[in-house]
A and B are shown apart, each in its own frame.
Chain A
Amino acid sequence: MRSEAVPEHEAAASYGTPTDEVGAFLSRRREQIAQRWADEPLFRTVFTVSRDEAVEACRSVVDALAQVADSGRVEDSDSAGFTVVREQLARMTAARSRSGMSTAQVSGEVDALRAPVVNLLVADLPDAPPEHLRECATTLTVLMGTLRLVVMETALTEVQALIDRQQMQLLEVATPVIRLWDGVVAVPLIGTLDSARSQVVMETLLQAVVDQQARYAILDITGVPTVDSLVAQHLMKTVAAVRLMGAECVVSGIRPAIAQTIVHLGLDLGTVVTRAGLADALAYALHGLGADIVHATPGGAGQR
C-alpha cells in the first residue's frame, strides 16, 4: 500500500508539495474514486435506492477531502472543508448504527475507503520518484485518517445530543405530583435519585403544597432501587422543607432491603413519619384530616 522508503532525498523539483499533489489528484480522479467508493460497504448499504445516489454522496465526500487537502491542513478535523459533509456523514453513521453496527465496525468501514484511493494514487503517479510517492501516500493516508476521526466525532456528537435530550425529558417526566385527596399530594419517586433530580422533586412538591394548600405531602419511594446516605439526606431535606411550609411529609414504600440498608448505614430517620405503603400513608393523612375511611354498612346508606 505504501511505497518503500528509499534513502535518497532528491528534491522533486517538478512536483508540488504532497498536500497540493493530493488535492490535485483528488480533484482529477474525483469520478473514479467516487465510482470505487460506491461499491464499498459503507456507501452501498446506506444508499440502497440507487447507485447514482451513492456515487453522488461519494463525490461530495471527495470534494470535501480535496478542499481540505488544498487548504493544507490534512490533520485538522475542524477544517472548513469537512463542515459541508458533516451532516451527510452523521446521517450515514446513524443509518449504520440503526442496522446494528458498533462504532468500531463503522470506523472499520470508513477505513476500508482508504485502500482503493491509495491504490489509485500509486497508479496515478507511475513515474514519480519513490520518495515523493511515499510522501503523497502518507499525506493521503493522514487525510483519510482525519476523515475517519470526523466521522467518529460526528457520531459521538449525535449520541451526546441524544443523551442530553433524554436527560431533560427524564427530569420533566419523572416527577409528577399527584393530588390524592383534598389537601393530600403525593410524589411517586421512580429510579435513582441524584442531586439534580431531588432538587426538582423538592421544588415541584413544595409548589404543589402551596398551589393546592395541601396539609399532607406523601413521598413514595417504592420505585427507588437503592438508598445511600446522600439520597437519605435529600429525603430528610425535603421532609424538613415541607414541614417549614406548614404541611406534614410522610415517606412511604420503603422496601425491606432499603430499610436494612438505612439501619446498617446508621441513618437517623427518627423525625420522619414513615408508612409501609402508599395506601397506609394516605390512610394516615386522611385520618389527620379527620376523614376516616369506614366500611359501608350493610343495608344502610354507606358513606363514600
Chain B
Amino acid sequence: MNDDFSRTGAAPVPVLRLGDILLVTLQGDLHDGTAEQLQQDIVEAIARSRVTGVVIDISGVEIVDSFLGRVLAEIGANARLLAAQTVVAGMRPAVAITMVELGLTLPGLRTALSTEAALELLGRPDAAAPRAPRQEPR
C-alpha cells in the first residue's frame, strides 16, 4: 500500500496540453494506484483548462488488465460529462485481442490508429464526411 503511494509520487503520468487537446502517453506497466491518480489528474486538467479533447496514447502498453480497461472507460465517461471527447490511440493487436476476450470493448470511447490520427480525428469531428470536394454533375 505504502509502496504503491510512493510509486505514485515518484512517477506520475505526464498530462500535456496541446492547444485544445490533452495528450497523455502511457508507457509500460501501469500500477493501479498510478492509473487512479491519472484519472483524477485528467479530470482536473479538463475542468481547469477547458479542453475539448483528450488523446490517450497506449502504444507503449503491452498488457491491459480489466482494471486499466475500466479506468479508460471511466476517463471517457468523465471527459464526456465535461464536454470533451476521448480518443484511445495506438492500441497493440495483442492488447486489443485481450480486451475483446475480457469483454471490454470500450463502447463509449473513440479509437485511432496513432496519435496523429487521433489529433486529426479531434480536429475534424465529422470524420466520416468526404474530404475531397464532390465533382459537380454536368
Contact of B113 among A240, A246, A287 (CB under 8 A): A246
Contact of B97 among A202, A288, A294 (CB under 8 A): A202
Complex CA–CA separation, A288 to B124 (angstroms)? 13
Q: Would A245 and B134 be within 8 Å (CB), given that A209-B113, A213-B114 are in contact?
A: no
What residue of chain B has the Cβ atom nearest to residue A247's Cβ? B113
Q: Would A213 and B105 be within 8 Å (CB), given that A240-B100, A288-B128 are in contact?
A: no
B15 at the interface (CB under 8 A from A): no
Contact A246 B105 (CB under 8 A): no
The digit string for A279-299, where 1 denotes a CB below 8 A from any CB of B, is 000000001101110100100
The digit string for B110-138, where 1 denotes a CB below 8 A from any CB of A, is 01111001100000000010111011001
Q: Would A246 and B90 be within 8 Å (CB), given that A203-B97, A206-B96, A292-B130 are in contact?
A: yes
B38 contact set on A, CB distance < 8 A: none
Distance to closest chain A CB from B66 (angstroms):
14
How many residue pairs link A and B with beta carbons under 8 A? The number is: 67
B134 contact set on A, CB distance < 8 A: 292
Contact of A241 among B100, B131, B132 (CB under 8 A): B100
Distance to closest chain A CB from B120 (angstroms):
10
The digit string for B74-107, where 1 denotes a CB below 8 A from any CB of A, is 0000000000000011111101110111000110
What residue of chain A has the Cβ atom nearest to residue B89's Cβ? A246
Most buried by A among B90, B92, B93, B106: B93
A288 contact set on B, CB distance < 8 A: 128
Q: Would A245 and B91 be within 8 Å (CB), given that A240-B105, A292-B130, A294-B135 are in contact?
A: yes
Contact A292 B100 (CB under 8 A): no
Q: Would A210 and B105 be within 8 Å (CB), given that A215-B113, A244-B111 are in contact?
A: no
Contact A291 B111 (CB under 8 A): no
Contact of A297 among B105, B111, B138 (CB under 8 A): B138
A207 at the interface (CB under 8 A from B): yes
Complex CA–CA separation, A241 to B64 (angstroms)? 13
Complex CA–CA separation, A209 to B106 (angstroms)? 19
Q: Would A206 and B93 be within 8 Å (CB), given that A246-B114, A288-B128 are in contact?
A: yes
A287 contact set on B, CB distance < 8 A: 130
B113 contact set on A, CB distance < 8 A: 209-210, 213-215, 245-247
Q: Would A246 and B117 be within 8 Å (CB), given that A206-B93, A240-B105 are in contact?
A: yes
Contact of A209 among B93, B95, B138 (CB under 8 A): B93
Contact B130 A244 (CB under 8 A): no
Q: Would A203 and B93 be within 8 Å (CB), given that A215-B113, A247-B113 are in contact?
A: yes
A294 contact set on B, CB distance < 8 A: 135
A243 contact set on B, CB distance < 8 A: 105, 111
B88 contact set on A, CB distance < 8 A: 244, 246
Contact A207 B132 (CB under 8 A): no
The digit string for A231-255, where 1 denotes a CB below 8 A from any CB of B, is 0000001001111111100000000
Complex CA–CA separation, A297 to B138 (angstroms)? 9
What residue of chain A has the Cβ atom nearest to residue B116's Cβ? A213
Contact B97 A246 (CB under 8 A): no
Complex CA–CA separation, A290 to B134 (angstroms)? 9
What residue of chain B has the Cβ atom nearest to residue A244's Cβ? B96
Report B's interface with A, CB cutoff 8 A: 88-93, 95-97, 99-101, 105-106, 111-114, 117-118, 128, 130-132, 134-135, 138
The 4 closest A-B pairs by CB, nearest first: A290-B131, A206-B93, A246-B112, A246-B111
Instruction: Using A210-B92, A244-B106 as known contacts, list a sample of 18 further A-B pairs with CB atoms less than 8 Å apart, ordered by residue number in A.
Output: A202-B97, A203-B97, A206-B93, A207-B93, A242-B96, A243-B105, A243-B111, A244-B91, A244-B99, A244-B105, A245-B91, A245-B111, A245-B113, A246-B90, A246-B91, A287-B130, A292-B134, A294-B135
Report A's interface with B, CB cutoff 8 A: 202-203, 206-207, 209-210, 213-215, 237, 240-247, 287-288, 290-292, 294, 297
Q: List 5 A-B contacts (CB under 8 A).
A: A210-B92, A241-B96, A244-B91, A245-B91, A291-B132
